[in-house]
A and B are shown apart, each in its own frame.
With several copies, the nearest count.
Chain A
């Protein structure tokens, strides 16, 4: 059994220092405020600043693995992600998931047309996977691509797309016809300026606009925009998701544990610190245990992926575990504040400028988006345990 991740050696201290200096000099002054989750700028001005920021990073010679032809020095990559991550603002503009897909399955033309521009902030991408009735359950995708000469004609609807309102290109999964293979799903590069695309930014319950609905009405996509081969969409999507796997929410849940511990320490009731209250200690420790288990579950899943032994429950399990732990912690984060929890971002009395209040509201994005946890539990029981599928009403 082997799980070791080694520490960054001291000889990288200099790299870190020069990077910090670079960040100090170039980190953009955004209107956009760092909040939990994937949060998208509301102002064009901020988007422009972020593009400049990505360009500056690129021009300074910092290259991310996802955009590089050959993997970079792993410690440099870690320092890079750590330091840029610590700024709290995006350092890749848009959703760069497609980069892995293009690197692995794309044509030389696709690589040169997209990888460089993405790394320089010239292209913003959005991911077009989730659908209203399917979530991330690819088998249920209903967006169709009908082959017409050397073009697919796309019809359907996607939801939960971040960055779509600012995107130049979309990483689209559609069920192509005639169906060329099992599943019959194809991955496509979509020009977001194509006629027939309607983007509806959603104002969410958080009050911010982070997701979009995207509608396709006879949108034409050249066959040359297929990533990999027609019908290989599932493989392409799985592979690119695998390159990003485990990342979502991993540190997020531990960060919340730390926030709760801080909050408890600095809050008093009946003259006693909540950090000395047995019920608070027990509850926060229970969260801490679950957060640590989340890390370890992630490593089990990674191991299975490396051994080509992915199970039907790996992804749903991670999603349920993180999203429900996250939600419970944030509910508790409000409870611990007591009446102070009723004020939010912008109020001088708010704890941590209302971060926990916003995160509490946003927490439902994780339990609902990308396939609700109810759909996830169906997947686990039906595909994982082989229990009978729910009868469809239209059968």
Chain B
């Protein structure tokens, strides 16, 4: 048993951390957001060279993972990007790359995958008009038409929609889920930028008005969506874990240094116990994330359960931790200048995406109910 990263993955971590420290630290993202420019495409391409978008792409299409566990590799990357609150659409671009690699036609693979791997194409992924993976929600409807497949409706809360060259749209087709590739810009597709809670990331709304794509743009149905949610949940959890980890470290450092009433704040027992709880929380976030990555990569029987576990636990722990960190920072944490609110915003903004915690818990209960009915019978 080695429930930890391999040496190669450690090396990957170091190289990514070095790159981010030098080129893309949080301070750079901060400057960008004050200037209203969020994602620096040049830096994103540099990141792609380090493999940010390559792990789930086969080598023949210029991709390649570090180990035989590409999602575990991605966890390393995502943790590091999370530590800097990197604005990049790591989740959606990898989700789309994975979907094309697994479910796409050869032509789609050779058209898109190398350009995604090189960071030239930002690919994004849309769900319903409510941002949920909910077929019952209003969203985008597709019909088979003469020219192929025609899309109508709106998808919201789509990461980096404004800049993207490609969207994998989740639509309703014949009453079932379908995932459709749409290159952007495209006739009948309008993209509007959202004003968001998370200042380090940019989201958008995509409106399809009779947008027609070839019939083979439909990559598949529920199986594509399910896989996408698994991949997204793992990456999102890892980004959250990295962000939680650095914020926790910064909080401990602050409390160790800062003096109040003649003592460092970190010497007060009530504060110490809360920090102990946060340490536990970070460790649990890590663990839930790593296990989900491993279970999906290895196709463990409990992979779906592991995804639901991470998908429900991690975002709420992350939001709790950022809130505690803000509170423990006191007045300084309430200011615009301090970074802690960027973490608070990120955590709350991430929390409901690609399946809310309550949605994952409902799934988990269904699995548990089915499994324990057997166990107790």
Interface-facing stretch out of B141-149, B220-228, B279-287: B279-287
Q: Is A269's CB under 8 angstroms from B359's CB?
A: yes
CA A338 – CA B290 in complex, angstroms?
A: 25
Interface status of B318 (Cβ within 8 A of chain A)? no
- Encode A227-248 as 1/0 by CB contact (under 8 A) with B: 0000000000000000000000
Residue of A270, A284, A340, A390 touching B131 (CB-CB under 8 A): A340
Interface status of A82 (Cβ within 8 A of chain B)? no
CA A269 – CA B134 in complex, angstroms?
A: 7
Interface status of A207 (Cβ within 8 A of chain B)? yes
CA A382 – CA B273 in complex, angstroms?
A: 10
Beyond A1-B5, A292-B305, A296-B287, whether A342 also contacts B331 by CB under 8 A is no
Shortest CB distance B205–A (Å): 6
Q: In the complex, which residues of chain A have a beta carbon less than 8 angstroms from the beta carbon of B197?
A: 341-344, 354, 357
Which residues of chain B from 256 to 286 have any CB-CB distance to chain A below 8 Å in the complex? 256, 259-264, 266-273, 275-277, 279-280, 283-284, 286
Residue of B nearest to A257 (CB): B368
Q: In the complex, which residues of chain B have a beta carbon less than 8 angstroms from the beta carbon of A4?
A: 1, 298
Of the listed residues B264, B269, B334, the one surrounded by the most CB atoms of chain A closer than 10 A to its CB is B334
Of the listed residues A300, A302, A395, the one surrounded by the most CB atoms of chain B closer than 10 A to its CB is A300
Residue of A288, A361, A387, A392 touching B272 (CB-CB under 8 A): A387
Residue of A nearest to B267 (CB): A388
Interface status of A146 (Cβ within 8 A of chain B)? no
Residue of B323, B336, B348, B373 touching A204 (CB-CB under 8 A): B336
Q: Is A334's CB under 8 angstroms from B348's CB?
A: yes
Which residues of chain B from 6 to 57 have any CB-CB distance to chain A below 8 Å in the complex? 6
CA A158 – CA B127 in complex, angstroms?
A: 49
Beyond A281-B365, A344-B197, A367-B327, whether A338 also contacts B131 by CB under 8 A is yes
CA A354 – CA B187 in complex, angstroms?
A: 31
Residue of A286, A338, A344 touching B356 (CB-CB under 8 A): A338
Q: Is A3's CB under 8 angstroms from B313's CB?
A: no
- Encode B299-314 as 1/0 by CB contact (under 8 A) with A: 0001001101100110
Shortest CB distance B161–A (Å): 12
Interface status of B152 (Cβ within 8 A of chain A)? no
CA A390 – CA B264 in complex, angstroms?
A: 12
Interface status of A335 (Cβ within 8 A of chain B)? yes
Q: Is B263's CB under 8 angstroms from A285's CB?
A: no
Interface status of A182 (Cβ within 8 A of chain B)? no
Q: Is A341's CB under 8 angstroms from B348's CB?
A: yes
Interface status of B361 (Cβ within 8 A of chain A)? yes
Residue of B nearest to A2 (CB): B2
In the complex, how many residue pairs between chain A and chain B have their CB atoms under 8 Å apart?
305
Shortest CB distance A36–B (Å): 14
Beyond A300-B4, A338-B131, whether A289 also contacts B330 by CB under 8 A is no
Interface-facing stretch out of A10-18, A20-28, A116-124, A345-353: A345-353
Q: In the complex, which residues of chain B have a beta carbon less than 8 angstroms from the beta carbon of A1?
A: 2-6, 69, 72, 290, 293-294
Which residues of chain A from 372 to 395 have any CB-CB distance to chain B below 8 Å in the complex? 372-374, 376-378, 380-382, 384-388, 390-395
Q: In the complex, which residues of chain A have a beta carbon less than 8 angstroms from the beta carbon of B280?
A: 313, 317, 320-321, 380
Q: In the complex, which residues of chain A have a beta carbon less than 8 angstroms from the beta carbon of B3?
A: 1-3, 296, 299-300, 302-303
Interface-facing stretch out of A41-49, A51-59, A170-178, A258-266: A258-266
Q: Is the interface of A mostly helix, strand, loop or mixed?
A: helix
Q: In the complex, which residues of chain B have a beta carbon less than 8 angstroms from the beta carbon of A304?
A: 4
- Encode A281-312 as 1/0 by CB contact (under 8 A) with B: 11011101110110011011011101100000
Q: Is A270's CB under 8 angstroms from B134's CB?
A: yes
Q: Is B323's CB under 8 angstroms from A380's CB?
A: no
Q: In the complex, which residues of chain B have a beta carbon less than 8 angstroms from the beta carbon of A302?
A: 1, 3
Q: Is B352's CB under 8 angstroms from A393's CB?
A: no
Q: Is A159's CB under 8 angstroms from B331's CB?
A: yes
CA A63 – CA B220 in complex, angstroms?
A: 55
Q: In the complex, which residues of chain B have a beta carbon less than 8 angstroms from the beta carbon of A394?
A: 262
Residue of B nearest to A267 (CB): B130
Q: Is A393's CB under 8 angstroms from B276's CB?
A: no
CA A346 – CA B286 in complex, angstroms?
A: 36
Residue of B270, B352, B359 touching A377 (CB-CB under 8 A): B270
Shortest CB distance B188–A (Å): 20
Shortest CB distance A387–B (Å): 5
Q: In the complex, which residues of chain B have a beta carbon less than 8 angstroms from the beta carbon of A320?
A: 276, 280
Residue of B nearest to A343 (CB): B194
Query: How many positions in chain A have a CB within 8 Å of any CB in the partner chain?
Result: 95
CA A385 – CA B358 in complex, angstroms?
A: 33
Beyond A261-B372, A284-B368, A377-B273, whether A293 also contacts B337 by CB under 8 A is no
CA A167 – CA B271 in complex, angstroms?
A: 37
CA A327 – CA B60 in complex, angstroms?
A: 51
Interface status of B341 (Cβ within 8 A of chain A)? yes
CA A344 – CA B198 in complex, angstroms?
A: 9
Q: In the complex, which residues of chain A have a beta carbon less than 8 angstroms from the beta carbon of B2?
A: 1-3, 303, 306-307
CA A4 – CA B275 in complex, angstroms?
A: 32
Q: In the complex, which residues of chain A have a beta carbon less than 8 angstroms from the beta carbon of B336?
A: 202-205, 207
Shortest CB distance A253–B (Å): 13
Residue of B1, B335, B340 touching A2 (CB-CB under 8 A): B1
Interface status of B174 (Cβ within 8 A of chain A)? no
Q: In the complex, which residues of chain A have a beta carbon less than 8 angstroms from the beta carbon of B334?
A: 204-205, 364-365, 368-369
Residue of A207, A345, A387 touching B266 (CB-CB under 8 A): A387
Of the listed residues A320, A376, A380, the one surrounded by the most CB atoms of chain B closer than 10 A to its CB is A380
- Encode A309-343 as 1/0 by CB contact (under 8 A) with B: 00001001100110000010001001101111111
CA A386 – CA B275 in complex, angstroms?
A: 11
Q: In the complex, which residues of chain B have a beta carbon less than 8 angstroms from the beta carbon of A360?
A: 348
Apart from A1-B3, A385-B276, list 14 A-B contacts with CB within 8 A.
A203-B336, A281-B361, A282-B358, A293-B309, A296-B290, A303-B4, A317-B280, A335-B356, A344-B197, A367-B327, A378-B269, A382-B272, A393-B259, A393-B263
CB-defined A-B contacts under 8 Å, sample of 9: A2-B1, A133-B260, A205-B334, A341-B351, A347-B196, A385-B266, A387-B272, A388-B264, A390-B261
What 10 pairs between A and B have smallest CB-CB spacing? A339-B131, A393-B263, A271-B136, A394-B262, A205-B341, A393-B262, A381-B272, A285-B361, A380-B276, A203-B336
